[in-house]
Every structure is written in C-alpha cells, then in structure tokens.
C-alpha cells in the first residue's frame, strides 16, 4: 500500500489535515497537467495545479465576499473531480490507450482519499451559504410559494449580467465562447447530479422528477439527448466537444454552481433543499435561454446552432410548472411545516449561487476584454513585499489560477502569452511588460521563448 492510501485509510491522525489529503489527491499523475491549453479527449485527466495547494489554509472556508478566491477555485476543482468519480465517464473514442488512467481515476487509492475528505471539503466549499441565507419566520406552503414566485419574477425581469457583458464586449465572439465554456461544465454531463435522487420510493414527486430526467436524456434517443445537442452548438463554433476540454477555463462560480447540485444530492438528508433548488433552476432557465438566443443571434446570425437553447427555452417552461406544482408545493403539503424551511433554503441558495455564476462570468468577460487598460494600471499600481519568481519553459504544464488579492504580473525575461479566454487571442507580453490582474480573475501564462521568467507582485490598495 502506498503512503497516500495509508494516510487516507487511517483517517484523521496527527498531522493528517484536510490540506494534506487534498495535496495527496491532486498530486496524482492524472492531475498534474501538460503543456497544452486544452485537455485532450481523456475525461480522467484535468489540471488541479497541485503546487498551489500549499498556499491555502483549508481550515478557513471562504466567506461570501471571497467566493472567487483561489482557495475556492481550487476546492471546487477538487470537489468536482470527486463527484465525477461517482459517475461513469468513458471517452467517445474508446478506452484503448487509456486503461491505466481509467483504473487510476476509479481505483482504490484515490477513492480512499476522496472518501476520507469529501465531507470536510464540502463544508469548506459551501460553508459560506450558511450565513448568507436566513429562512427563519413563518413556514407554510403559502409563504414558500410567495417567496418562490417573487424570486422567479425577479430573475425574469432582470437582464443576465454575463449576457450583458457579452453584448457590450469589444470582442463579442470570444466573450460568447467563454460563456459557452461555463455552460459546457454541466452541458456535456447534464442531469448527472439529478440521477442520484431518482432512487428510493417517495411517491408522485419521484415520478415528476423522473419526467424531467428522461426529457434531459431525450427519452432514450441519443440524438435528442441534451448533451448531444449541446455538443452541436459547440461544433457550430468550431469548439471542442469532449468532456472538460476547457477545464482550465472554468471559473469558480460556474464550478460551484455545478457542484452545488451534486453536494445536495450526495446527502439525502438534504433532499428537500435539493427539491427547492432544482425547482428554482428549472423556473429561471427558460427566460435565460430566450435572452441567450437573442444575444447570440445578434453576434453570430445563423452561423451558430442554438437548438439547445431553443429546446431549453421551450422544455424548461414546462419543467418549471412541473417542479413548482408537482414537486415543491406537493412536498410541502404532503410532509408538513417541518420541511418548508429546507425547501425555502434550497430556493434561496440556488438563487444566490446562480448569481455567483453570472457575476463571476461577467467579471471575467469584462477583464479579459480590457487588458490594454490593465497594462496601464500595472504601471501606476503600488506593490508590497518581495515578488514571487517563476521560471517557465515550453514543456512546463499549463494551468490557470486566480489570486485572493490583486497582483501585478511582470515579464522579467523572455516572452509569454497571457491567456484569459479559451478561444480569444492571447496577450503577448515581452520583457518589462506588466499587467494588473484583479482579485478573482482567472489567467494562465504560456511561455513563448525557450525560458521565460515571470515576477508576481502583490498590489496594494490606493
């Protein structure tokens, strides 16, 4: 037995911290990355930036104002990988040449680490929701329905921050592609979390959820499956369609949104919270996809395949009615006032975390679309402390990250490309060039010379 599996199977012994277990997991050869910006058609490999984990205190969860901190991004990358190991991932081209990776991804060693740390990692990743949502007060089906209707109307009335950022961008095509990548996180494995709550026996509400599930899966017709038509949309933009090709470009907000539904469905004590969350999601999807169709048609005309959006704009209006009437309110009536606070909490948390998806994506679009100004800001930024120096070669693994505070990236030697979007042109930087990277903004650096030296300065306010 290896040291890693000995540690994980022994539980929390002296010195066996969550951080150490996460580092052991991320240190697997599957998660060390390679020099390519996009991951190949191998669903088991994804870059977890293991070298950065030592920076973080995994005993202090991020607060609501720290959702885009790097420790939040790192935690949700790990948690998403944990959850997907409980699903079946097989490459479309077959397993030939990938048998060892399959065995390692699903094997005992990583499984023991996951099982020994998943609950703590969930608490770390989602503790911020506990203080951000208050469901005290009257707990009746009428109160539940009134609150639900209010937040759904609110979502339908307000424009999407992310789609607004796309429409206002100078490079609208790259901004739209960045948004598609965030949707691809769930779009290529759609309804996987939902499947975990379909077992058991809980009456007509179970059948109502199953109706939605089979819609997502195209009633058993692969060409009608929502993941299949999502891939068609990606192909119309000449984008990769295999699972997690764009792993390096998933933002913390979208990762957390996807993980949230796994988090609830992994623990059946949170079933009523899940029912509230999925009801809210189904109700707000339809108007969101109607808005997306308008924005994307304005940018691409008929050159983009929006069948996926049209399908959701239609079917999710139906799903919204089903979940409200046959799941949310039906559960409240059947099981009484004790479950209403959990149903309310699910609605409120889904609203909150969906807002994080939108705000994080909008902020990334605006920053990556305005890099020349952030070059100027770097020149006037005040910095503190000794800079962190990194040497890169063309063989160095490529990874992306964020920072908890604003930083100034400076090229000390050589040349490099600053990469902030999956399809847009990178920002070439030469010796002496610098750029201000705001807190929470995702970036990667790819060397353009045989050796590149980068300096990272902490920027100070003022």
Residues 411 and 355 in one domain: no
Instruction: Supply φ then ψ for residue 388, to 5 degrees.
Output: -90, 130
Quick one: 379 and 346 in the same domain?
A: no
Range of the domain at 235: 133-369
Same domain, 202 and 283: yes
Pseudo-torsion of CA 340, 342, 343, 347, nearest 10°? 130
- Is there a contact between 367 and 441 (Cβ–Cβ < 8 Å)? yes
Residues 159, 286 within the same domain: yes
Do 274 and 194 lie in one domain? The reply is yes
pLDDT at 176 over 70: yes
What CATH code is carried by the domain that includes residue 173?
A: 1.20.910.10
Q: With H, G, I as helix, E, B as strand and everything else as coil, classify residue 432.
A: coil
Q: What would you report as the CA-atom Rg of the chain, rounded to the nearest whole angstrom?
A: 22
Min mean pLDDT across 8-17, 120-129, 330-339, 420-429 is at 8-17
Give the tokens for residue 441. 């903004």
Q: What pLDDT does residue 152 have?
A: 96
pLDDT, residue 299, reads 98
| 274-328 confidence digits (pLDDT tens) | 999 999 999 999 999 999 999 999 999 999 999 999 999 888 889 999 999 999 9
Q: Using an 8 Å Cβ cutoff, are 65 and 440 in contact?
A: no
Mean pLDDT, range 249-270, rounded to an integer: 97
In a domain? residue 337: yes
Any domain includes 6: no
Do 262 and 323 lie in a common domain?
A: yes
pLDDT level of residue 8 (50, 70, 90 thresholds): very low
The reported pTM is 0.95
State the pLDDT at residue 14: 39
Strand partners, 392: 452
| Domain identity same for 93 and 140 | no
Say if residues 194 and 212 touch (Cβ distance below 8 Å).
Answer: yes
Q: Select from 339, 369, 399 the last residue of a domain.
A: 369
Do 249 and 318 share a domain, yes or no? Answer: yes
- Pairwise CA distance, residues 428 & 146, whole Å: 52
Residue 250 φ/ψ, nearest 5 degrees: -70, 135
Question: Is the confidence at residue 252, as pLDDT, over 80?
Answer: yes
Say how many domains are in the chain.
3
Q: Is 386 part of a structural domain of the chain?
A: yes
In a domain, 384, yes or no: yes
235 and 328 both lie in a single domain: yes
* Predicted confidence (pLDDT) at residue 448 exceeds the cutoff of 90: yes
Same domain for 279 and 377?
Answer: no
Same domain, 71 and 146: no
Mode of pairing for the β-strands spanning 434-437 and 407-413: antiparallel
- Amino acid 2: pLDDT: 31
Contacts of 142 (CB under 8 A, 6+ apart): none
Whole-angstrom CA distances from 191 to 81, 263, 269 are 16, 14, 20
Beta-bridged to residue 410, according to DSSP, are 434, 455
The residue from 120, 153, 174 where one domain ends is: 120
Tokens of 41: 């058609």
Let me know: does 198 contact 270? Beta carbons within 8 Å.
Answer: no
Q: Examine the domain organization and report whether 364 and 235 are in the same domain.
A: yes
Residue 9 counted as domain residue: no
Overall average pLDDT of the 178-190 stretch: 97
Residue 174: inside a domain, yes or no?
Answer: yes
At 435 the three-state DSSP class reads strand
User: Domain for residue 1, yes or no?
Assistant: no
For residue 13, the model assigns a pLDDT of 40
In the numeric block, which tokens belong to residue 8?
A: 């994980």
- Residue 5 located in a structural domain: no
Residue 15, pLDDT score: 52
CATH of the domain at 416: 2.60.120.10
- How far apart are the C-alpha atoms of 163 and 72, rounded to whole Å? 24
Which of 308, 343, 369 lies at the terminal end of a domain, its last residue? 369
pLDDT mean over 395-422? 97
């Amino acid at each position: 037995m290896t040291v890693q599996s000995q540690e994980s199977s022994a539980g929390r012994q002296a010195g066996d911290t969550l951080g150490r277990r996460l580092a052991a997991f991320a240190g697997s050869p599957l998660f060390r990355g390679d020099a390519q910006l996009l991951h190949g058609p191998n669903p088991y490999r994804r870059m977890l930036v293991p070298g950065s984990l030592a920076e973080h205190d995994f005993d202090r969860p991020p607060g609501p104002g720290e959702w885009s901190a790097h420790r939040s991004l790192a935690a949700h990358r790990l948690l998403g990988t944990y959850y997907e190991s409980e699903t079946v991932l097989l490459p479309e081209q077959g397993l030939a040449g990938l048998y060892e990776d399959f065995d390692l991804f699903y094997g005992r060693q990583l499984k023991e680490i996951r099982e020994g740390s998943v609950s703590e990692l969930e608490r770390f990743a989602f503790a911020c929701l506990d203080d951000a949502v208050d469901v005290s007060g009257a707990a009746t089906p009428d109160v539940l329905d009134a609150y639900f209707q209010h937040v759904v109307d609110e979502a339908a009335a307000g424009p999407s921050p992310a789609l607004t950022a796309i429409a206002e961008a100078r490079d609208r095509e790259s901004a739209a592609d960045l948004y598609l990548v965030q949707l691809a996180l769930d779009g290529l494995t759609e309804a996987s979390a939902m499947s975990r709550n379909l077992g058991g026996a809980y009456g007509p509400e179970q059948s109502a959820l199953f109706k939605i599930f089979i819609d997502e899966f195209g009633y058993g017709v692969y060409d009608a499956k929502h993941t299949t038509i999502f891939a068609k949309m990606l192909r119309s933009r000449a984008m990769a369609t295999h699972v997690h090709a764009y792993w390096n470009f998933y933002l913390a907000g979208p990762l957390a949104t996807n993980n949230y539904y796994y988090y609830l469905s992994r623990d059946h004590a949170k079933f009523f919270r899940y029912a509230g969350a999925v009801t809210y999601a189904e109700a707000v999807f339809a108007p969101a996809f109607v808005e997306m169709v308008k924005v994307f048609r304005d940018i691409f005309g008929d050159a983009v395949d929006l069948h996926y959006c049209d399908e959701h704009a239609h079917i999710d209006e139906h799903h919204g009615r089903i979940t409200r009437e046959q799941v949310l309110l039906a559960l409240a009536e059947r099981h009484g006032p004790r479950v209403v606070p959990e149903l309310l909490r699910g609605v409120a948390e889904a609203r909150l975390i969906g807002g994080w998806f939108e705000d994080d994506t909008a902020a990334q679009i605006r920053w990556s679309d305005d890099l020349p100004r952030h070059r100027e800001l770097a020149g006037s930024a005040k910095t503190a402390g000794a800079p962190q120096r990194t040497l890169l070669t063309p063989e160095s693994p490529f990874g992306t990250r964020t920072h908890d505070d604003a930083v100034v990236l400076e090229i000390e030697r050589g040349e490099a490309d600053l990469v902030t979007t999956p399809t847009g042109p990178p920002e070439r930087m030469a010796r002496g060039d610098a750029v201000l990277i705001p807190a929470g903004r995702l970036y990667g650096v790819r060397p353009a010379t045989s050796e590149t030296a980068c300096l990272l300065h902490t920027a100070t306010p003022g």
